[in-house]
Amino acid sequence: MSRTVYVNGEYLPESEAKVSIFDRGFLFADGVYEVTSVLDGKLIDFEGHAARLQRSLGELDMATPVTMDELLEIHRELVARNGIEEGLIYLQITRGAAADRDFAYPPEDTPPTIVLFTQSKPGLAESPAAKTGIKVISIEDQRWGRRDIKTVQLLYPSMGKMIAKAAGCDDAWMVEDGHVTEGTSNNAYIVKDGTIVTRHLGTEILHGITRAAVLRVAREAQMKVEERPFTIEEAKAADEAFITSASSFVMPVVEIDGEAVGSGTPGPVAARLREVYLDEMRKAAI
């Protein structure tokens, strides 16, 4: 079935949606994005995603083409028009289409491009992978230095996923200066003696919206949290490991570079966090 998508103010069948070949998102990866999950037909942590979007746009001196209220309406309209019960909404805003290819930014009155589409994913919350856990491989982090901005420059993460796939793994954890930064499209965590460890915020990682919520619920549940760098060796020797993202929520990691983490099966901390996170976020969904 053809989806209804949103492009620059219009709801259109996906086959009729178009952007210019001069769009700076296409030519320079000059754009930012957000992925928001949908459960029970409602948006999970929309406010968090809207706030990060505004921050990403601000860091790149990019105009915001819609108000956050309008953005919420567009999200809801797409969920309704496409009958999404469980799935994702992808949003991308670029610096728009200049008249030609030019490294310099186009004039300030150039309208930004805004595109949104839905991805229906029945069973997203009941993912079988959450029961079995995933396997990761470690790779060098070769991305640019402003990973806190959610740009559409995703070639290295795509390469990382392919390296992982070729090694029979599900994802890659990226390592810089001997320490894990994050997964290719998720934040990375280990658990040792009951303490949850995840890298501190900075320009080296994306400030995950799921990360913020998971750390909040962990602290509310009196779990100990340390925000600091950790090594792959430390991760392999941990009791548990897991990742978080809007599309995977809390997902256990059971193997790193071919070595089992803990018992090699999903651990109790990740399972509890997943349950509490999903429970709280469903209640707060809008």
Q: Is 150 a catalytic residue?
A: yes
- Cβ neighbour number for residue 190 with a 10 Å cutoff: 27
Minimum distance, C-beta of residue 182 to ligand PDD, in the bound complex (Å): 5
For β-strands 87-94 and 113-120, DSSP reports them as antiparallel
Residue with Cβ nearer ligand PDD (195 or 247): 247
Q: What are phi and psi of 163, to 5 degrees?
A: -65, -45
Minimum distance, C-beta of residue 98 to ligand PDD, in the bound complex (Å): 26
- Cβ neighbour number for residue 107 with a 10 Å cutoff: 9
Residue with Cβ nearer ligand PDD (35 or 201): 35
Closest CA to 134 of 245, 226, 38, 229: 245
Residue with Cβ nearer ligand PDD (138 or 245): 245
CA diameter of the chain: 58
Catalytic residue among 150, 224, 236, 283: 150
Closest CA to 265 of 133, 173, 168: 133
Decide if 18 contacts 24 (C-beta within 8 A): no
Residues in the site for ligand PDD, rule: CB under 6 A? 35, 182, 185-187, 206, 208-211, 244-247
Residue with Cβ nearer ligand PDD (209 or 232): 209
Decide if 244 contacts 211 (C-beta within 8 A): yes
Minimum distance, C-beta of residue 129 to ligand PDD, in the bound complex (Å): 15
Minimum distance, C-beta of residue 104 to ligand PDD, in the bound complex (Å): 28
Residue 3 CA to residue 12 CA, distance in Å, equals 8
Decide if 151 contacts 185 (C-beta within 8 A): no
Residue with Cβ nearer ligand PDD (141 or 255): 141
Minimum distance, C-beta of residue 245 to ligand PDD, in the bound complex (Å): 4
Q: Which residues are catalytic?
A: 150
